[in-house]
Amino acid sequence: IKEYYHTDSLDTLKLWFNSIDKASLLNVHMIQPVQSTTQNRIPSSFLLSAYGIDNTATANDILQRWWYIFNQCLQRNIKIIGFATDADAKYVIAIRLMSRFFASLPNFSVHQHQQAFTEKLKSRWPWFFLREQQLLLFFQYATHLATKWRNYLLSSTAELRLGDQSISINHLYSIIDNAKFTKIDHGLTKSDINPKDRQNFSSCVKLTSDDLFKI
């Protein structure tokens, strides 16, 4: 809340720091505009809000945040089509309730909202469940998915498969150590396949490059 804790007194500031719970985590909301048919590039994302949290929010609190963001944007002629987050249990519950994934919100028919849309799934996806009428779509955000995939790939214990073939960090070592290829060919360095660096997203970009897949 803007200027909620506002004082010119050092003693008051000390009192606040000593007596009021302080946020240990940061919650960030980013906006990713959807690329239109007339655009050649994906628009850059930008920051919507950031605030401290103490991780005590409930699934209902999360729903209220999403609902507030959705309505505030709608009033400004901005249509939010979905939210992306990690797989924290509270967020999963909120997603299930909003998307009616074997759960529902009491006294609120989300799919009957005037901004709801109909999604027709392809028949060759029998394993995928999504009710046709949805107000919002939900995803696990791409950065989290990419780093998780990379960490599995570089793990010494996990087994990762593409189709019927196994892939592992050894394949990457063999490419880097192969004298037939240079960094110009694959773009990799030993630091890109360091399993201890679990948040190296730039490494994810290199590991999924077309140049690497061509080798």
Q: Does 208 or 2 have the greater pLDDT score? A: 208
DSSP string, 53-115: E-S---HHHHHHHHHHHHHHHHHTT----EEEE---HHHHHHHHHHHTSS---TT--GGGSTT
pLDDT in tens, 129-143: 888 889 999 988 888
User: pLDDT digits over 110-129, tens only?
Assistant: 888 899 888 877 767 777 78
Percent of the chain with pLDDT over 90: 27
Alpha-carbon distance of 197 to 204, in angstroms, equals: 11
pLDDT of amino acid 3? 61
Token representation of residue 97? 């309730």
Mean pLDDT across the stretch 184-204? 88
> For residue 1, what pLDDT is reported?
52
For the entire predicted model, the pTM comes to: 0.69
Average pLDDT taken over every residue of the chain: 87
The mean pLDDT value for 182-188 works out to 88
- Report how far apart, in Å, the C-alpha atoms of 202 and of each of 29, 34, 129, 170 are: 21, 22, 33, 20
Alpha carbon distance, N-terminus to C-terminus of the chain: 53
Looking at residues 61-77, what average pLDDT do you find? 94
Q: What confidence tier does 68 reach under pLDDT thresholds 50, 70, 90?
A: very high
pLDDT in tens, 79-99: 999 999 988 899 999 999 999
